[in-house]
Structure formats: structure tokens, C-alpha cells
A and B are shown apart, each in its own frame.
Chain A
């Protein structure tokens, strides 16, 4: 089991560009969560998705940020017109399908975004 995969691991963007972060959940997991970690801070929930559905986006900034989890392929976190304050580590986590211990979340290695 390869675990949760994220790419790229490091991403450098200039202000105003777009950033696309990808997350492939563990095999058999259909729940995906995105968290943001600012330098020397804890993790903050952004969005929770199941296949083709956004379940909870209460932690997402209202503008410039969007997320999707298509039927085929990885989950994508998209940040448009990046600003320096978007520089952070973005972690994806996945959990098993309903019926199992679906609370347990396993994290990917993260994408470190640096906005110049």
C-alpha cells in the first residue's frame, strides 16, 4: 500500500500565478481532506470531499481557492492568483469508506508552496 500520495512536493510560484496541488488517497479510501499548515503553526482544516462531491468547505477562503475530487483521478486543490500569504505546507489526508473506522485519517507528505 503506497499510502497517500501528493505532488508536487515543492512548488514555487510568483504572485498572481496559479497553483495546483494533487492528492491521491490510499487505496480503498473515498474520503479526502485538505489541511493547511503555516510555518510553526498547527494544521487548519480547509475542505472535505468524497468522490465528485464537496461535503464541507467551511475552512476554505471564499475567494481564489477551490477543490475537486473527480470520479477518476486525484483530488486537486487549486489556488488562483497566489499571494505571499498562501505560502504554507498543504497536507492531504484520506480515510476509509463508510462502514469502517472512517474517522482515522492518514496524511500525505504534503506540498510546500512558496510564493515569491
Chain B
């Protein structure tokens, strides 16, 4: 089955700096890659996703890049703010015509210091 590895497990940055979180996946059939943000005691919230027919996607301060050949994808957050502090999870699935079971990475605890 699919296996998703996520690094780093913790990331500490100063407000205004950029943060990058990286994930690798094992199954070349995976074609959908969402990122979720989870605050303490809350539900995972989708922040951005990318499908395998796209190499990069951006939404304001958040961007995701995908390298299908290397089977890795990354989350980039620019101009970080204290409210960005949370746990971030990457995931992979075989979406589209197949079912969309998500395989999650282990999570990255991001701390943004004011």
C-alpha cells in the first residue's frame, strides 16, 4: 500500500520567515495530494491540494509543489504569522475514478515565534 513520509517533525521559525515541509510517497499511482492544518483539539482543515497533472499551485501565502518523477511534494508558507502555528499533515490518495482513501504523513508541528 501507499506510504507517506513527512519531514521535519518539528519546525520553528520567526514571524515573517518562510516555512517548508516536505513529503515523499511510495505509490506512483497516487495522483491527489492535499495538505491539512490541525490546531490543538480541532478538526483537520484542508488548506491546499494539488493533483498530479499540475506541478505547482499557489493560494496567497501558501504554495504546494509536486515532483512526480521523484515522488515528492512540498508545502511552502511565506511571511509566516503566529496564527500559522499548528500541526500540518500531508496526504496522498488515488483519487479520480478510484476511491479517495487518504494516507497521511506523520505531521509537522510548526511554531511561529512573534
Contacts and interface: CB of A to CB of B under 8 A. Distances in A.
Interface of A: 31, 33, 35, 41-45, 48, 55-56, 58-59, 91, 93, 95, 102-110
18 contacts: A35-B102, A42-B89, A42-B107, A43-B89, A43-B102, A43-B104, A56-B99, A59-B101, A102-B100, A103-B51, A103-B93, A103-B96, A105-B46, A106-B46, A107-B36, A109-B42, A109-B43, A110-B43
B100 A105 contact: yes
Given A42-B106, A104-B49, A91 B96 contact: no
Interface residues of B, number: 25
Interface SS of A by simple majority: strand
Nearest to B107: A42
Contacts of B34: 103-105
A77 to B, nearest CB: 16
B104 A44 contact: yes
A31 B100 contact: yes
A23 to B, nearest CB: 12
B100 A42 contact: no
Interface string B88-114: 010001011001111111110000000
